[in-house]
């Protein structure tokens, strides 16, 4: 089984900007540097996260955008991510996100470099089998 299928968490970086209809060079560089930083952070972190690039995540006015996702956890989308400035903050957030069973964090708990950069926090999806609507009477 490959690492992407084994990893419980996913980080996605916008690397192909539909806004300008070409690959996003800053996103590609960010992805490369983030992969290196996650590897340096140790196996407990790097083995639990898959990293990939993605076509436009609709954060065109606030590039680069980075998403954190995991099953049964809130999804986060960050924008205005600077490669050199924010790599350490993304790794620190990955640790925090990994440790939270529901993925939820307050802005005050997140690394200060990510302050004001949260574009969205999307609640975890409810699995259809877990949701049992009450019958209408």
pLDDT for the residue 25: 75
Q: What pLDDT score does 19 carry?
A: 64
CB of 73 within 8 A of CB of 97? yes
Segments making up each domain of the chain, as ranges: 3-122
**This prediction's pTM:** 0.83
pLDDT-flagged residues of the chain (< 50): 1-5, 128-129
| pLDDT at residue 6, rounded to an integer | 63
Class of domain 3-122: alpha beta
């Amino acid at each position: 089984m490959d690492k992407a299928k084994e990893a419980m968490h996913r980080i996605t970086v916008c690397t192909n900007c539909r806004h300008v209809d070409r690959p996003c060079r800053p996103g590609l560089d960010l992805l490369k540097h983030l992969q290196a930083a996650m590897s340096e952070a140790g196996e407990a972190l790097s083995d639990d996260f898959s990293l990939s690039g993605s076509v436009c995540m609709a954060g065109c006015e606030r590039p680069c955008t980075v998403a954190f996702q995991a099953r049964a956890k809130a999804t986060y989308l960050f924008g205005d991510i600077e490669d050199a400035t924010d790599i350490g903050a993304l790794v620190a957030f990955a640790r925090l996100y990994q440790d939270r069973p529901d993925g939820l964090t307050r802005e005050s708990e997140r690394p200060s470099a990510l302050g004001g950069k949260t574009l969205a926090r999307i609640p975890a999806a409810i699995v259809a089998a877990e949701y049992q609507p009450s019958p209408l009477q």
